[in-house]
Amino acid sequence: QSVLTQPPSASGTPGQRVTISCSGSSSSIGTNTVNWYQQLPGTAPKLLIYSTTQRPSGVPDRFSASKSGTSASLAISGLQSEDEADYFCASWDDSLNAWVFGGGTKLTVL
């Protein structure tokens, strides 16, 4: 059971906009920044979003993220087939004194 809660799956057609949610608590997302990771099939995860809304260089601006209260969300616009991957959110939890992840969302491009 993950500390952060994500939907197990999401889907969309090419060109669509898809959002993935990540729900936490006052001691995690409510207090700290959120980071998002993309894991393409058979590869190591890759940093997609840091400090809640920032994109590392090389990440397309089709990827955006936000936070409100104890929840965060990742949005992917102009969906492409290469976006098919698992997406994970992560945050520091002040109560657990630990980094915590969401269970991951498998995105399917139909």
Residue ranges in contact with another protein by CB under 8 A: 2, 33, 35, 37, 44-47, 50-51, 56, 88, 90, 92, 96-104
Eight-class DSSP state of 55: P
Whole-angstrom distance, CA of residue 69 vs CA of residue 2: 19
Residue with smaller CB distance to another protein, 24 or 102: 102
Residue with smaller CB distance to another protein, 58 or 81: 58
Min dist. Cβ of residue 71 to another protein (A): 18
